[in-house]
Amino acid sequence: MPYVIDHRANGRTFWLDRARARYAHMCKRIFSWAHSFDDLEFDKYIIALTYVRNEDWQADDIRGFMLKLRDRFPLMAYAWVAELQRRGAVHYHVMTIVPKGTMFYSKRDRLS
């Protein structure tokens, strides 16, 4: 729900949408975090995870995926965000920071 804010110093009024402000802040933080590794000897990979059927989503799915990923690869750092697609399915973006030369599976392989 947007809020109306009156600026006392200049007398202007503006609307603040908390959801948009939170989203913008989150994007800025993740962008800054990702670019803090630019000068270091690491590779960055982005993994997209999408459900075929909306009803397949389970609350701990991303947790399970990240535990398997951390067990199998030398992750230096990672961040993930969830989005809802237009059709209502949950969609995840996972950014990983790994040592240079680390290779992930091909499209045919799966973490199961």
pLDDT tens across 9-52, in order?
A: 777 776 667 777 777 887 788 778 777 777 778 888 888 888 88
The amino acid at residue 95 is M
Lowest mean pLDDT among 13-17, 61-65, 91-95, 97-101: 13-17
- pLDDT of residue 106 exceeding 80, the answer is no
User: 97 and 55: one domain?
Assistant: yes
Place of tokens 């240079």: 100
- pLDDT of residue 63 exceeding 90, the answer is yes
User: For the chain, what is the total number of helices (H) and then of strands (E)?
Assistant: 2, 5
User: 93 and 107: one domain?
Assistant: yes
Tokens of 86: 């237009």
The domain tally of the chain equals 2
Containing structural domain, residue 25 = 1-36
* Contact yes or no for 97/77 (Cβ under 8 A): yes
Integer Cα distance of 109 and 61 in angstroms: 18
Mean pLDDT, the chain, rounded, equals: 80
Distances (CA, A) of 20 to 12, 27, 75, 105: 20, 11, 31, 35
pTM: 0.65
